[in-house]
A and B are shown apart, each in its own frame.
Chain A
């Protein structure tokens, strides 16, 4: 029973951290390797507001942190990625470099040790099906599900969301209809970064804000997206359930050392069997020679 409950929580956690990555890739075909860095940045900014200003309201700090991350994401596109769009190698190297710069810069700036924590939204725990779960984890599940629904509504019933989907499906046709490719890319990067930040403020209260978490988040986000098929949303959610349960099972029956190994092996196996992922239909021919 414990395995099922924690499996679900873990899966939703994974899909929360990978939604931003998959959104950016599906809309503007940009692999945002700075995803993990943005995740940590949001947590750090929220922490700064909480601890440097006495009595700063928590929700407000969160809101500002996410807004700043959105702006950072938009700026990254506007000033750097816009110039190298379409050059795949440069895109990868540039985003990876930006991510590394942010993470190592934070580490240099003093983000070390275990002193950086965000308070949980609500302390205490409840008993579900014989397992004790603290409120924060329940909130994660609730928030995760709400995010999926909101994103679905946004991309299906909103003009901007529809424009994003249009660009994702056929860039040229969308541009002919007056949708600007660069503007949508800026919006997608802003939303993607915002989602990373959103995941951060929900998930970080469960642990410490440490730089290593940034790398782990990036790896898990990529793992989930690759297995689900880069750019496929349904695939992302399915894949996060696969990896989530696989991890909980390995933790229960082997040891927690193998968690990362499982994720990495899953990627390699998926790429070997079906390089475009479980649901990745598009570009299937391109990916494989």
Chain B
């Protein structure tokens, strides 16, 4: 009689080696590449499907911006150990800078966004730098203050259009440019960050989180590493901010709004901290959900917060880690 038994489909890969993929068949290639390809292809063809539902075009663009912000938060919180509650500050700086370049200095859109991204990242890093020696609660508290401070300063000094904001920012030349500008950069940043955290320098940055004294004892400047990390994170956020300014053709105080700080955090917690992809997946779930809940007004934030608290308390590993585990546990029947 023929005997059958169950076998995990990743058995061959696990047995040989886990880190370096010694791949012997197209099946294993597919097994490893499958989820990644699904994400990349799915995201790339998404705008084509949106022709069916024009209303969702704007939502999807915003969703990708949020996934960038979530990526930045995940990187800072789970790889560097800096809990940044003020992601909105980075967004605001990026948005305002690109509006300034575009409206006041009349730079075209393909110059204003990159310039705003790079200079914005420098500006954010410079302003956050004084607080970098702080850790944990202290850093979280101070970064929480930054967007508020920026709002109050702009209000009080009545600069940059005051409470009305800067209007008349150029829009994107074509709808598809609008979509793919953010999609391509999101994918680049996502896979770039995944590489980066496993590079030598990425490992040092992770060391800062786990044991900064050890990093220091190795003769590496902890503050420099943190500065670098903040630069990278704010780079992503500033790009998102500049993109939003051009998307809405407007840069105003709402760029410093609470949403840009809290939704990325919720996405990271729901998607699974420390996986980077989880952050992106989380925002893919949360942002469309919030669009469905638009009807409820501010009640949306209550739902986010409830979901956030629920996930932290009950399922702190997050969706991504859970799915990953389940994916590796797929079994098939084999002949003995």
* B223 close to A (CB within 8 Å): yes
Tally of contact residues, B, Cβ under 8 A = 46
Given the interface pairs A108-B299, A287-B135, the reply to whether A260 lies near B148 with Cβ below 8 Å is yes
Q: List the A residue with the shortest CB-CB distance to B77.
A: A89
Contact at A108–B145, with CB atoms within 8 Å? no
A208 vs B138: C-alpha distance when bound (angstroms): 31
From A31, A101, A219, A264, give the contact of B137 (CB < 8 A): A31
CB under 8 Å from chain B, chain A span 83-112 = 83-84, 87-90, 92-94, 96-98, 100-101, 104-105, 107-108
B316: A residues at CB distance < 8 A: 84, 87, 90
List A265-286 residues whose CB lies under 8 Å from chain B.
265, 267-268, 271-272, 275, 286
User: In chain B, what residue has the closest Cβ to A286?
Assistant: B135
Minimum CB distance partner of A83 in chain B: B313
Q: Which of B212, B265, B305, B313 has the most CB of A within 10 A?
A: B305
Chain B residues, CB < 8 A from A89: 77, 83
Chain B residues closer than 8 Å to A97, beta-carbon distance: 262, 266, 304-306, 308-309, 312
Q: Which of A83, A93, A288 contacts B269 (CB 8 A)?
A: A93
Whether A104 pairs with B298 at a CB distance below 8 angstroms is yes
A114 within 8 A of B: no
B29 interfacial by beta-carbon distance below 8 Å: no
Q: Which of B199-219 contact A (CB under 8 A)?
A: 212-213, 216
Q: Which residues of B are found within 8 Å of A265, using beta-carbon distances?
A: 149
- A173 to chain B: which residues have CB within 8 Å? none
List A14-44 residues whose CB lies under 8 Å from chain B. Answer: 31
On whether the beta carbons of A289 and B299 are closer than 8 Å, the reply is: no
Q: Are A94 and B135 in contact (CB under 8 A)?
A: no
CB distance from B149 to the nearest CB of A (A): 5
The answer to whether A80 touches B313 (Cβ under 8 A) is yes
Q: A268-B130, A287-B134 are in contact. Are A261 and B298 (CB under 8 A)?
A: no
- Smallest CB gap from A288: residue in B: B133
B162 to chain A, nearest CB (A): 11
Q: B302 and A108: CB pair below 8 A?
A: yes
Is B247 an interface residue, CB under 8 A from the partner?
no
Interface contact B134-A275, CB-CB below 8 Å: yes
Contact assessment for B137 and A271 in the assembled complex, using a CB-CB cutoff below 8 Å:
no
- B119-149 CB mask vs A (1 if < 8 Å, else 0) is 0000000000011011111101110110011
Closest beta carbon of chain A to B16's beta carbon, Å? 36
Give residues of chain B (267-324) contacting chain A, Cβ–Cβ below 8 Å.
269, 296-299, 301-302, 304-306, 308-309, 312-313, 316
Query: B312 contacts A90, CB within 8 Å?
Result: yes
Task: Tell me the chain B residues, 206-250 only, with Cβ under 8 Å from chain A.
Answer: 212-213, 216, 222-223
Taking a contact as CB atoms closer than 8 A, the residue among A94, A101, A104, A271 that contacts B138 in the complex is: A271
- Looking at chain B's contact residues, the main secondary structure is helix
Contact B262–A92 (Cβ < 8 Å):
no
Does chain A have a CB within 8 A of B152?
A: yes
A275–B137 contact, CB under 8 A?
Answer: no
Given contacts A98-B309, A100-B301, contact A289 B77 (CB under 8 A): no
Flag whether A199 is at the interface (Cβ < 8 A): no
The answer, among B137, B156, B298, B312, for a CB contact under 8 Å with A258, is B156
Cβ 8 A contact of A96, one of B85, B148, B298: B85
Choose from B134, B152, B302, B308 the contact partner of A271 (Cβ within 8 Å).
B134
Interface residue A200 (Cβ < 8 Å from any Cβ of B): no
Q: Which of B177-205 contact A (CB under 8 A)?
A: none
Cβ–Cβ contact B137 & A108, under 8 A: no
Give A228 Cβ to nearest chain B Cβ, in Å: 13
Given the known inter-chain contacts A264-B149, A289-B216, please indicate yes or no for A88 contacting B156, CB distance below 8 A.
Answer: no
For B145, list chain A residues within 8 Å (CB): 219, 264, 267-268
A residues less than 8 Å from B222 (CB atoms): 289
Q: CA separation between A87 and B222, bound complex, in Å?
A: 22
The verdict on A230 contacting chain B, using a C-beta distance below 8 Å, is yes
Whether A288 pairs with B312 at a CB distance below 8 angstroms is no
Q: Which of A241-258 contact B (CB under 8 A)?
A: 255, 257-258
With contacts A101-B306, A101-B309 known, is A108 near B296, CB below 8 A? yes
Contact of B265 among A80, A93, A104, A286 (CB under 8 A): A93
Tell whether B155 is near chain A: CB-to-CB under 8 Å. Answer: yes
A-B contact pairs, 21 of them (CB 8 A): A31-B137, A31-B140, A84-B313, A87-B316, A88-B83, A88-B136, A92-B137, A93-B265, A94-B313, A98-B305, A98-B309, A100-B258, A100-B305, A101-B302, A104-B299, A108-B298, A264-B145, A264-B152, A267-B141, A271-B142, A289-B212
| Cβ-closest 3 pairs across A and B | A101-B305, A257-B156, A104-B301
Enumerate chain A interface residues (CB-CB to B < 8 A). Answer: 31, 80, 83-84, 87-90, 92-94, 96-98, 100-101, 104-105, 107-108, 219, 222, 226, 230, 255, 257-258, 260-261, 264-265, 267-268, 271-272, 275, 286-289
